Amino acid sequence: MNYRDPLFSVIAFFVIVLIAIILTLVLGKIREFLREKEIEKLIKNFEYIKMDDYKNPFNALMLLAKAYEKEGNYEKALKVYLLIEKDYPSREILLNIANLYFKAGFLEKSRDILYKILKTAPRNVEALKLLILVNEKLGEIKENIDILEIFEELGMDFPKEKAYAMIRLFYLQGCDIEEFCKGIKSFEDIYNTYPFVKREYVEFLFKTNPKKAYEILDVYEHLDLYYNRDDIPDNEKFCNILAAKGIKKCKKRAPFEIESLKYLPKNLAELEFEYYCNNCKKTFPLYSTRCPKCHDLFSQKLLIKLCEKKDIENIEF
């Protein structure tokens, strides 16, 4: 076959793609193997500790593990918990190990430990909650729906988790699980049932029906979703926003940042947005439906900041 033949080029392309995929998988396995070996090495470093040398070795080691966990050294915390589990096996220790595996990114290992816990305690609430987070990372939305049904059997209602699962299902394939999605045919149905998903619904509408998005959104609470768009309606509702952008005049009072922009030169200041979690009180530069810190859902609120406008045209990279 001549190398100038188009068929040769197509075959060569697919061969290169195949080699790249194989190399990626092999390197991933090697990285996982090395990480496991590193953890085993860390565990061995503690083998000199003899439980009988201490009057209360369990408490001492628990304090050590929690200290490592608090400073973010998950590998060392994990090795201490694994050491404790050998001599003091319990569901609490297994749950700590599963949580650390989750934080360190070993999702399959975390899930294996959680299944081990649930095998003897199928109604362990903390294990089920953590399993929801693990499954979410792994894209196992339907498994989470099964867990939510278990919670319902226990008489526990988690509307935020249920609404989030519906949204994920809606984007994947539509909410088509008969009992779970009863009465839910569209994103609007999810919003009508769970009004706290309003931001996610407005974001969806900006992709499908911007006119309706502008009708139902909260002018300041959802400002980051539309401030940089060029189709903001010219009406009383958005009077202050258009004035802040220098498009028209508006005498209505607005929040400090917006009001300041109305009178400052256009090239002097601009708005920046941050997101504050009402649950853990942490601030983040990007919005997340689930807080990256405490994992609470629909808890982030918009913070509007007035800052000096940056000239990025002459920045060298």
Lookup: tokens for 13: 């392309």
Give tens-digit pLDDT for 76-128.
888 888 888 887 888 999 999 999 999 988 999 999 999 999 999 988 999 99
Q: Count Cα neighbours of 54 within 13 Å in the Cβ-side half-sphere.
A: 10
Nearest to 194, CA basis, from 157, 226, 227, 143? 157
Instruction: Please report which confidence band the pLDDT of residue 315 belongs to, taking 50, 70 and 90 as the band edges.
Output: very low
Burial of 120 (0-12, 13-18, 19+ CB in 10 A): exposed
Delimit the domains of the chain by residue range: 268-310
Q: Give the chain's mean pLDDT.
A: 86
Give the pLDDT confidence score for residue 61 in this predicted structure.
79
User: 3-state DSSP call for residue 263?
Assistant: helix
The whole-angstrom separation of Cα 307 and Cα 257 is: 9
- Determine the distance from the C-alpha atom of residue 161 to the mean position of all C-alpha atoms in its chain, rounded to a whole number: 13
- 79-85 contacts at long range (C-beta below 8 A, 24 or more positions apart): 79/39, 79/42, 79/43, 79/45, 79/46, 80/46, 82/43, 83/43, 83/46, 83/47, 83/49, 84/58
Strands (DSSP E) contained in the chain are: 269-277, 283-284, 300-308
Across the beta sheet with 269-277, the strand order is 283-284, 269-277, 300-308
For the stretch 166-214, pLDDT in tens is 999 998 877 778 788 888 889 999 999 999 999 999 999 999 999 999 9
Q: Are 150 and 166 in contact (CB under 8 A)?
A: no
pLDDT at 313: 52
The closest of 77, 47, 49 to 62, measured between CA atoms, is 77
Least confident of 43-57, 166-180, 233-247, 261-275: 43-57
